[in-house]
Structure 1
């Protein structure tokens, strides 16, 4: 039972849809370059795919199982499913409307999607050669006779449906289907003409040349369909061979039940029946199925229609030490904010460890990483140099499972000791521990991150890297690694971890602020995270608000807390920043009897959002920041600027709605600010960016 009425909470699924709506609205924001607006539209469509494949799929499973347990906001699975489907349908119709407008704007900028019947005969000849050489060999036309089985179409797969008629009598004979090969681009770029960049959709090319696929028949395209399947993976946690068991589960997922069908035009009813779909699982789209594919129109040869390029530099302190990461960290703790400072510093830290003859061991947790990652190469190089290397690889990183299976096998083949962590808990903590012989003693160096070890996404995700050789923290890191590999509960001195100590520590910190408020001292909490969902922690924040604690939160995505409600959450504000970069860092600050920002504040960075899964079902790390310069960098700069952002920020109302913030007299965009000021002066603790400091003007003038 929850302490507060269900009206005090916002539905998780609807809150996520609200977040995706904020992403979608970036596609209409004229302050964004045109091709970036196309990218935001594509991102919103890709987000919807994952939402259907995981969240909606979960609700469908609950309904089929007859589940009636209500969510924290008081809805049964059936009620949630009905509400979510309607809201998702509205969003997809909005995407169609926005695409219609963007296509017209692209045409004004000489980026055109051509109609095949308006092409010059020379273009048609070029297309014929392209079709015969690049497309025809990989197509498999299928007769859609009601008695024939439907060919398998993977999740995200698209197919063109055609009506087939006899050439002489034009009598309808059958329906045909051509599955669109995922290896081919959806938009084919034609040769430029008089400075105009021209594309044509693959389905129109296939339709135009369909006579060669169905010889002797007259074919007329009637519709495009696109399938989304249930992609949730069930894993037997007590399986004897976790890797093989999970590999089989991922293979099974490819054949997950179809749960959502997008239709552009019309398709035969017997096709829908064969897919096992209900009427409310089919969405009719007026313009285009598969909106995520519009990202293929983002061309590099029109840079004026893209965000100006930003090239992050290596942190100055590392440069000043000649690139020696160990010397830099030994001097004092190092905070790096990505992508404003280069992620290469993390790669370089590992590469230096691999090459250094004094390094004897490396341990690293890997949740997600890039294809052909330099981090993986560094671990392999370390093994080849005779060092002890352990990688804790999490197989259950959703949609990266297959990549992590390949990674685990590749690392094992090269001699890395690979551990899959605890079967009951995902290993989500981001940690590296390097042990180095220095004279007669061993010195450890640790990296803690809020984001994944993924050099590609590190260019667009805002995250924090924290490097330290603090004896207490590196010893705790060693114990936490031993917990993930050996199961024995660690006795940590300063570090907190889920599922053991993060929740109770957060409760202790919030209660301490409540005591400060009751004693008449300043009582403040600043939070930054991706998702705020956990009912217990939300109720605790409500208690704190009623006790007089001022709470400000920057929550990028899902927020189930309802701020600013009289008598419940009067003292809570919730903002969300959506823009050029994806906000991903988790930072928690507690005033400790002083007004924030303060040198005495208790400050933590973490890999964990405030969700039940992160608190109770994952291995997570929450790291205290005590070094004065590191503390000031995160609190006085990163958090203050995030809270002062007005140009990319939204504010949640007591009704649970999101409204764009007014620019105000001192307009500030956090992303622009940090691109211009990637880090404060590192020689001393930095002063806060206070309201009225002209920080916004500094960004605009730089």
Structure 2
């Protein structure tokens, strides 16, 4: 090997292309015939969710390089073109699987999403009544003119753009209108089946609105329309050195998150160039940012349909985790840890054991203090509830809350405020760094002495994701380990 080979500049894999390649591998699971049908549909939704986050977090620098034709480190107009081409290819594969493989298989298994033309007279009457009672009262069409400018369109929301002919009630000939579809509306409705048939029929909210658009514009004619969805930059950027209160700054940032820079526009495959060009101009996007899709513009919402279908044979068999083998149900954690450490392998062993450890600490009158990190605990926050109960019982509680846990900022701000409201000590870690550690430290008085017990984990303190993700939990009363953890909490709280 030559000396030059040692001095050669290392070749790194492109991070964004690697993320997209990973999602190709996830998408491959939607193709596999050995995977249960509803789970194949769920993999399709997972890829869509991942692509949403990719645009929200990773894509803005590429688009900026394209629009300004300036290089920003390794990011250039060419990387915009390369990434866009790869995403277009991936999206095309998604909808090919959806339309050519999964929907025909769903119909064979007696599950069908009906279009307006496929509904019989009885089903159309049902959909009409559903639209009038449940949908139309929540819709407010906006006809565009100088006094009604293009509305703010929230990130990842479902909308319709409509082209009209004729005059409205005020004699105006405004040609274009926007209909925003509230997130509160269910994306699928189960509709009556055909008599004598066991088929389960659904209608999508976009199809329901599409077939009744004329009802929203009395006296006018809908000449063309398209559903559309825009994805926006959503990564919160806060200068921690400058702000006086990180929590307040993030709370303000959350209010604007839904209206960040537009990055991607999805429209129906049949959308006219007039409508798609109009939208591209409104959002300031180049043609490469337009994605024409032959189906729902948001495949993530298929999860709702999956949950509405009662067909266990079309799902993975539900796994029931067992109680950790090194623990005995009902035995005191403190007594057990005096005998030795405990390793818990999630999700095969139940995360409920970790909750039980904290619950015992909260209820034990000999426990003096509890310290815990909070990163992604979920919106319900069962562990945060236990920490608040510990404060009410007179224990010293310290919570290190990571406010910058992406897309969990609001939940963590709420947990922090609720903990502070009952008197817990809440800190936010070290400026400029994320506190990603998962640590729980319990200090207990035993026979006139102080003893510590701890839990550390590779996974979040989240009962929901603990049923899905593979992680290792470790319970210990080792003096050296617990003393280390005490020092870590001291540094996090004091820096």
- So what's the TM-score if we normalise by structure 2? 0.92
1:433–1:477 contact (8 Å) kept in structure 2: yes
Deviation at 1:61, TM superposition (A): 4.3
Could you give the per-residue CA deviations for residues 638-683 of structure 1, whole angstroms, max 9, x where no partner exists?
A: xxxxxxxxxxxxxxxxxxxxxxxxxxxxxxxxxxxxxxxxxxxxxx
1:187–1:200 contact (8 Å) kept in structure 2: yes
Q: Which residue of 2 aligns with 1:481?
A: 489
Question: Do structure 1's residue 303 and structure 2's residue 288 form an aligned pair?
Answer: no
Structure 1 residues 480-519: aligned runs within 5 Å: 480-487=488-495
Structure 1 residues 66-85: aligned runs within 5 Å: 68=71, 70-71=73-74, 76-85=75-84
Q: Which residue of 1 aligns with 2:228?
A: 225
Question: Do structure 1's residue 249 and structure 2's residue 278 form an aligned pair?
Answer: no
Q: Which residue of 2 aligns with 1:137?
A: 137
Deviation at 1:176, TM superposition (A): 2.5
Deviation at 1:129, TM superposition (A): 2.0
Larger deviation: 217-226 or 395-404? 217-226
Q: Which residue of 2 aligns with 1:153?
A: 153
Q: Which residue of 1 aligns with 2:266?
A: 262
Question: Do structure 1's residue 285 and structure 2's residue 293 form an aligned pair?
Answer: yes
Question: Do structure 1's residue 434 and structure 2's residue 442 form an aligned pair?
Answer: yes
Higher helix fraction (1 or 2):
2
Could you give the per-residue CA deviations for residues 501-521 of structure 1, whole angstroms, max 9, x where no partner exists?
A: xxxxxxxxxxxxxxxxxxxxx
Tell me, in whole angstroms, the C-alpha distance in 2 between the residues paired with 1:221 and 1:476. 66
1:192–1:198 contact (8 Å) kept in structure 2: yes
Structure 1 residues 103-502: aligned runs within 5 Å: 103-145=103-145, 148-166=148-166, 174-193=175-194, 194-238=197-241, 239-264=243-268, 265-266=270-271, 267-298=275-306, 299-319=308-328, 322-487=330-495
* Runs of at least 4 residues off by over 6 Å: none
Deviation at 1:366, TM superposition (A): 0.5
Deviation at 1:118, TM superposition (A): 2.6
Deviation at 1:161, TM superposition (A): 2.0
Query: CA, structure 1 residues 65+343, in 2 after alignment: closer, same or farther (shift >3 Å)?
Result: farther
Unpaired segments of 5 or more residues in structure 2? none
* Corresponding residue SS for 2:384: helix
1:318–1:324 contact (8 Å) kept in structure 2: no
Larger deviation: 60-69 or 24-33? 60-69
Q: Which residue of 1 aligns with 2:93?
A: 94
1:160–1:221 contact (8 Å) kept in structure 2: no
Deviation at 1:272, TM superposition (A): 1.9
Q: Which residue of 2 aligns with 1:8?
A: 11
Tell me, in whole angstroms, the C-alpha distance in 1 between the residues paired with 2:10 and 2:24. 22
Tell me, in whole angstroms, the C-alpha distance in 2 between the residues paired with 1:147 and 1:90. 40
1:146–1:270 contact (8 Å) kept in structure 2: no
Query: CA, structure 1 residues 360+65, in 2 after alignment: closer, same or farther (shift >3 Å)?
Result: farther
Deviation at 1:220, TM superposition (A): 4.4
2:372–2:398 contact (8 Å) kept in structure 1: yes
* Corresponding residue SS for 1:402: helix
Query: CA, structure 1 residues 247+439, in 2 after alignment: closer, same or farther (shift >3 Å)?
Result: same
Tell me, in whole angstroms, the C-alpha distance in 2 between the residues paired with 1:301 and 1:337. 31
2:326–2:343 contact (8 Å) kept in structure 1: no
Tell me, in whole angstroms, the C-alpha distance in 2 between the residues paired with 1:293 and 1:349. 37
Tell me, in whole angstroms, the C-alpha distance in 1 between the residues paired with 2:10 and 2:83. 17
Query: CA, structure 1 residues 77+439, in 2 after alignment: closer, same or farther (shift >3 Å)?
Result: farther
Query: CA, structure 1 residues 14+339, in 2 after alignment: closer, same or farther (shift >3 Å)?
Result: same
Query: CA, structure 1 residues 187+216, in 2 after alignment: closer, same or farther (shift >3 Å)?
Result: same
Could you give the per-residue CA deviations for residues 225-274 of structure 1, whole angstroms, max 9, x where no partner exists?
A: 11000111110212111211111122222220111101113225233211
The higher relative CO (CA closer than 8 Å, separation ≥ 6) is in 2
Tell me, in whole angstroms, the C-alpha distance in 2 between the residues paired with 1:70 and 1:207. 45
Please give the root-mean-square deviation of Cα atoms over the aligned residues, in Å.
Answer: 2.2
Query: CA, structure 1 residues 380+83, in 2 after alignment: closer, same or farther (shift >3 Å)?
Result: same
1:317–1:328 contact (8 Å) kept in structure 2: no
Deviation at 1:186, TM superposition (A): 1.7
Unpaired segments of 5 or more residues in structure 1? 488-702
Query: CA, structure 1 residues 360+221, in 2 after alignment: closer, same or farther (shift >3 Å)?
Result: farther
Query: CA, structure 1 residues 85+473, in 2 after alignment: closer, same or farther (shift >3 Å)?
Result: same
Tell me, in whole angstroms, the C-alpha distance in 1 between the residues paired with 2:332 and 2:64. 53
- So what's the TM-score if we normalise by structure 1? 0.65
Deviation at 1:385, TM superposition (A): 0.8
Tell me, in whole angstroms, the C-alpha distance in 1 between the residues paired with 2:459 and 2:304. 27
The equivalent position to 1:35 in structure 2, one of 28, 34, 38, is: 38
Tell me, in whole angstroms, the C-alpha distance in 1 between the residues paired with 2:340 and 2:491. 27
Could you give the per-residue CA deviations for residues 4-47 of structure 1, whole angstroms, max 9, x where no partner exists?
A: 65563211111111111111111011121000000000000000
Query: CA, structure 1 residues 410+312, in 2 after alignment: closer, same or farther (shift >3 Å)?
Result: same
Tell me, in whole angstroms, the C-alpha distance in 2 between the residues paired with 1:377 and 1:45. 33
Tell me, in whole angstroms, the C-alpha distance in 2 between the residues paired with 1:434 and 1:4. 51
* Corresponding residue SS for 2:470: strand
Larger deviation: 243-252 or 29-38? 243-252
* Corresponding residue SS for 1:47: helix
